[in-house]
Amino acid sequence: VRVLLLNGPIPYTNAITHIPLELAYIARLLIRESFIVKGLDFSVLSQNCHEQAHAEIREFQPEVVFTTFSRVLFDSTRCLSYCLPLLDHLRRCFPTTHICAIGEHATFRTQEILDRYCSVDSVIRFAPELAARALCRSLTDNQPIEDIPGVVTKRNPWRIEDPSWHSIPDNLDVLSIPERKAFPVDQYLRKDSETIVEGSRGCVHRCLFCQRSRYHRKVVERGIDLILKDVAECHGLGFNSVFFTDLDFCRDTERAIRLCNAMISERIGVTWTCNIRADITEKDSPVDVLRAMKAAGCYRVFVGLESPNPGVLSNIRKRISPDNGMRLKRALDSVGLKLHASFLVGTPKDNFQTLEHTFEYAKALGADMTSINALVPLPGTEYGDSPIKWGIDLVNGDTQWYERTEYLNKAVSGNANLSPDEIDVWLRSAHVRLLGG
């Protein structure tokens, strides 16, 4: 059986694009069982290579397609509209091919996808890898697929409401190592010499805007040996830097230190970066783990500080204090690690004063990199699923804003104090002022 692993096109030419890990894990599991696998990621191809990619699909004649829609980094919602025409085209070319949607958007809008997008035959909710392998086995044997945990079709829609209906592994080691070579590694390398590696999935926190903590549902880890092997494979493919996608690399500081020590003794040969939470400063001896990270090759950490306003932080359930950011910056400086600080504007309690407070705080913090982004009320989050309850005004009241191209690069929500347009204008001015020092 020939299986196509597909990430759709995106409208940005300079977006960060990494090998889609879920599809690459599926590739590894399927190749082991002698399925014929081809990965295609339109997001990394330049526009003038798209025709060639279409020709490759025609030649490959896929019998099964798994698609993450059009994923940019970890967001499979925002550019959805760019993948739908491609799926319709596939459906016309291959009427009997089974097309299965995976990823965050498919998980949290399953019913909508099965009702509205007739090119999609099934959805895998939550972790897709094991269910995708089971689905390929069943399709090969002409067996029904509706009993596979995680798989939803028009024939078992009641499963959407079943919280136990998933195939999330208890240990990521069962997924082995992503088969990155199923994708055109050279194309990614041409854009960026850094790639992504997972050490764990999941987060114990539940910030109201965060889709990924809901998607992963629980914390699941990979063994340190496998992480090192994975990093070594990336190095062997030509990547000289790695971004650990763990939602909080320092959730378990002892494990983080063990991993760092293993990286040092194995001489992994790459630099790396990761996400951590600002409240690491409240743990025992935070500097010990930060020092170990630096010694192991970490060059920078990404931290979501979101806002310095206690009312905003409490409202979004971030569970950090405004002091955490400043204390973290001092701790990072003391060990020589850089900080990428990220802020969020347009949350329900924001107004012009809190936005300006965020700007002043960001400037005073003096991080090495600063991002200020507008809230995106993503499916699966409280803000995306119950916007009215939380005081979120969707742009033009459009609950399916992600199906339209006109909202790309724009704020898609506001609140009682700020319209999406006002947030956009403020953001543009804040970016100019930040750059201007």
Given the complex with ligand SF4, which of 293 and 303 has the nearer CB atom? Answer: 303
Given the complex with ligand SF4, which of 63 and 198 has the nearer CB atom? Answer: 198
* 430 counts as binding ligand SF4 under rule CB under 6 A: no
Q: Closest by alpha carbon to 53, among 188, 191, 183?
A: 183
* 101 counts as binding ligand SF4 under rule CB under 6 A: no
Would you say 76 and 70 are in contact if contact means Cβ atoms under 8 Å apart? Answer: yes
Nearest distance from residue 275's CB to ligand SF4, in Å? Answer: 7
Distance CA 231, CA 248 (A): 18
Given the complex with ligand SF4, which of 120 and 210 has the nearer CB atom? Answer: 210
Q: Which residues pair with 372 in a beta bridge?
A: 343
Tokens 């995976």, residue located: 102
- The site for ligand SF4, by CB under 6 A, has a size of 10
Of residues 242-271, those binding ligand SF4 (CB under 6 A): 247
* 376 counts as binding ligand SF4 under rule CB under 6 A: no
With CB under 6 A as the contact rule, the residue among 50, 89, 190, 206 that binds ligand SF4 is 206
* 274 counts as binding ligand SF4 under rule CB under 6 A: no
* 203 counts as binding ligand SF4 under rule CB under 6 A: yes
Would you say 209 and 46 are in contact if contact means Cβ atoms under 8 Å apart? Answer: no
How many angstroms separate the Cα of 43 from the Cα of each of 181, 211, 405? 16, 21, 16
* 210 counts as binding ligand SF4 under rule CB under 6 A: yes
Torsion sign over Cα 286, 287, 289, 294: positive
Distance CA 143, CA 367 (A): 55
* 283 counts as binding ligand SF4 under rule CB under 6 A: no
**Burial (CB count within 10 angstroms: exposed 0-12, middle 13-18, buried 19+), residue 192:** middle
Given the complex with ligand SF4, which of 206 and 258 has the nearer CB atom? Answer: 206
* 380 counts as binding ligand SF4 under rule CB under 6 A: no
Distance CA 57, CA 38 (A): 9
Of residues 287-306, those binding ligand SF4 (CB under 6 A): 304
As given in the structure block, the two tokens for residue 280 are 């690491």
* 277 counts as binding ligand SF4 under rule CB under 6 A: yes
Nearest distance from residue 8's CB to ligand SF4, in Å? Answer: 25
Q: Under the rule (CB under 6 A), what is the footprint of ligand SF4?
A: 203, 205-207, 210, 212-213, 247, 277, 304
